[in-house]
Structure 1
Amino acid sequence: MEYYCAYQERCYKEVEEKLYSYKISPSEKEQILIYLIENNFINEERFAQSFVRGKHNYKFWGKNRIINELKFRNISSKIIEIALKEIPETIYLENFHAIAEKNWENSTERKGQKKNKKFVDFLLRKGYETSLIYDKLNELDN
């Protein structure tokens, strides 16, 4: 389990699920989890920060999707708030504009409602804020 946690940042829930797959007793599972936390193999804040950086820098996810994915992994709101500070606002906006413009240019649809809907849906799936999306849509659609 040390190797599993050292290989890649893991959250408590992921490690717990892995231990469950080994079909060990609850007391053994608890002892292993306590050991991993005490020896800093599991650190929720470090996991969240790494997750935020990775998903934004490589998959270009927006804050909404990142928040939802972290909540799904039972990360506390306080830790999520701290982790989101890993993305500087200027870089966040630069990435948003780059991905939005690329999607707009690569769309095979002609101008109109269908193209606008696909554009908005794509950026919503990526997890960007609706106000950002509609501002960008108005800028590109004119």
Structure 2
Amino acid sequence: MIKITEKAIDVQKVIDTACSLGAGAVNVFIGTVRNTAHAKNVLWLEYEAYESMAVAEIKKIVDEASHRWPLLGSGVSHRIGTLKPGEVSVVVAVSTPHRRDSFEACQFIIDNLKEKAPIWKKEVFEDGEEWISAQPVRAVEAQS
């Protein structure tokens, strides 16, 4: 399951899609809209996506994860449209036979989704707005 949606994400459905009876671990990342950024109050976020390309890119990321770790199941859903603080913006769920693989695969998928999928975010504040382009994770790690 890979889904881009304007509707609220059914977190349990994403988890259920990823679950497998052979799994010893199910790992879930739930991204939510925070109420502050850059020391400003966030009123809402606006997400836009090139949907067909985003789905295709996420599929490539999940496929790569399945070559690195023994994924038994996976599910990814990302919201687009206007989201207020507290709302769920993205859910990634994976199942694997063992927990370490589950944690690593889930992190790999969300990090690469943020870096590579054509999904854009605009933060709207009390005094303006700003389009946010995700900085590649690898570049951030290299700077540390």
Q: TM-score with structure 2 length normalisation?
A: 0.28
Q: TM-score with structure 1 length normalisation?
A: 0.28
Query: Whose relative contact order is higher, 1 or 2, with alpha carbons under 8 Å and at least 6 apart?
Result: 2
More strand by share: 2
Which protein shows a greater Rg? 1
